[in-house]
Amino acid sequence: MTEAIAVTAAVRVPAAALTAHAVRASGPGGQNVNKVATKVELRVDLGAVEGLPDAARERLRALARHALDAEGHLVVTSQATRSQARNLEDARAKVAALIRAALVPPRRRVKTGVPGRARERRLAGKKRQAVRKRARSRPRDDD
């Protein structure tokens, strides 16, 4: 029914991993919305995506965790237009964008030290608190 999605030169989603299903859309469309199934529901078997490294596959599952069904298939819907064909292309573009996002490894966090001014501010606050508490205590007799 649908052809393969080429994400990059090395990564592609084969046609066998895709299942498209048309359902009735909500929203504007007049009488057409009651007759024609224009909303497209595209299911993708994430295990069948070719050329996807394991780390990227895990990132993809994490990115799409809210769009996964019980079997672990990615479910992408589109009802942006009144045309079923354009909605199918939109859903395919969403799948490709999601896979492209998973291919980008996250940047490593660079640990930095506490700025000197922040350390000074913290120590000054501690000194103020110590003076305040000392003022509450009984005066000592140093005779």
- Whether 137 maps to a domain, the answer reads no
Model's pTM, two decimal places? 0.71
Q: Are 78 and 88 in contact (CB under 8 A)?
A: yes
CA-to-CA distance for 10 and 117, rounded, in angstroms?
Answer: 50
> 28: which DSSP letter?
S
- Whether 86 maps to a domain, the answer reads yes
Q: Look at residue 8 and give its three-state secondary structure.
A: coil
CA-to-CA distance for 120 and 114, rounded, in angstroms?
Answer: 10
The total number of structural domains that make up the chain: 1
Give the end-to-end CA distance of the chain in Å, rounded to a whole number.
99
- Whether 92 maps to a domain, the answer reads yes
| Model pLDDT for residues 102-124, shown as the tens digit of each residue | 989 999 999 999 999 999 999 99
Instruction: Report which listed range, 47-56, 64-73, 120-129, is most confident.
Output: 120-129
Residues 6+ apart with CB under 8 A from 116: none
| Model pLDDT for residues 53-68, shown as the tens digit of each residue | 889 889 989 988 898 8
